Structure 1
Amino acid sequence: MRKFALALAAAVAFAAPALAADYKAGDLTVQQPWTRPAMAGMNGVGFMVIANAGAKPVKLLSAQSPVAGKVEMHSSSMTNGVMSMRRQDEGVTIPAKGQQAFAPGGYHFMLLGLKQPLTLGQKVPVTLLFDNGLRANIEMTVQSAATSAPMGSAAEHQHH
């Protein structure tokens, strides 16, 4: 019975999805970066929370990834029942002693022109570039949904 319990525990641990990790860079903490599965040639979408423990706001200027032709920051919003999405070319501010969520239905990253498929459990390297010169090298975990946030619509991201 003990061998069975150990085998079962090992099988469950092996089958459990790899959860997104947290990354620290200066006063910033990038929490739970993740992306959904996607096919090569299509667009992917990325999410995370960036917390700023510093006394000054910091602006996230851009992001890069070797798996995508381009990474853009977008903001989704609902107005009179119509979902719209806008590029954030001026960056996104992370408030002092605060945080900014990149989550379904709000700010998010578009991984445009994927050079390879994104498969469950894979780690996707991304570099975040901030206005204070800080570069944060993170990995987004490919998973089907956020570990603590509701899953949004993937359909809104396929029109690019």
Structure 2
Amino acid sequence: MSRLFAAAFALAALAAPLAHAGDYKLGALTVRQPWSRPAQAGMNGVGFFTVVNAGKTPVTLQRVESPAAAKVEIHQSAMANGVMTMRRQDAGVVVPAGGQVAFAPGGYHLMLLSLKAAQGVGQKVPVTLIFDNGRKAQVELTVQLAPPPGGQASPMGEHHH
């Protein structure tokens, strides 16, 4: 039994650093687990990730650009009286100091409008996150069918307005 435990522990130790291999650092900000769903050319795609702000001041994600789409918009979905609504976030999204905001199904997300090419599973979709302090983060969304393990299955409790 102890060999099995040792093997499981060794595997977990090896897998732990890999869990965040796709993270992107930009100063005090970390963009974690960026991903997208498959979509056809000409259709709209989506982008999901979590932005963590380890800094002492709030930062606003103001806009997003991508060569893969005609336009990228920041949206927020919300449930109100049993109806799902989606609104553009033209003022951006504030990531509080010492906090995080999840871009996940059912909450904040990117809309990649009029995709220029199909997005297939395993492909990477380049996006540029543009923050209010002028910094830009070059991020690649990994196209996959479901959220990353331990990822953003639900945005509830992580929204900050």
Between the two proteins, the alignment pairs up a number of residues equal to 134
Distance (Å, rounded) in 2 between the aligned partners of 1:40 and 1:151? 27
- Structure 2 residue runs of 5 or longer lacking an equivalent are 1-19, 156-161
CA RMSD of aligned residues (A): 1.6
Is 1:150 aligned to 2:153, yes or no? yes
Distance (Å, rounded) in 2 between the aligned partners of 1:65 and 1:133? 17
Residue 151 of structure 1 deviates from its aligned partner by: 8.1
Residue 20 of structure 1 deviates from its aligned partner by: 7.5
Letter in 2 for 1:49: T
Residue 150 of structure 1 deviates from its aligned partner by: 3.2
The residue that corresponds to 1:138 in the other structure is: 139
Letter in 2 for 1:106: G
Residue 144 of structure 1 deviates from its aligned partner by: 0.4
The residue that corresponds to 2:64 in the other structure is: 63
Cα distance change of structure 1 residues 20 and 80 upon mapping to structure 2, 3 Å threshold: farther
Is 1:106 aligned to 2:107, yes or no? yes
Distance (Å, rounded) in 2 between the aligned partners of 1:20 and 1:151? 21
The residue that corresponds to 2:51 in the other structure is: 50
Instruction: Give TM-score scaled by structure 1 length.
Output: 0.81
Instruction: Give TM-score scaled by structure 2 length.
Output: 0.80
Letter in 1 for 2:120: T
**Which 4+ residue blocks in structure 1 deviate beyond 3 angstroms?**
149-152
Check the 8 A contact 2:106/2:154 in 1, yes or no: no
Distance (Å, rounded) in 1 between the aligned partners of 2:51 and 2:43? 26
- Structure 1 residue runs of 5 or longer lacking an equivalent are 1-18, 153-160
The residue that corresponds to 1:118 in the other structure is: 119
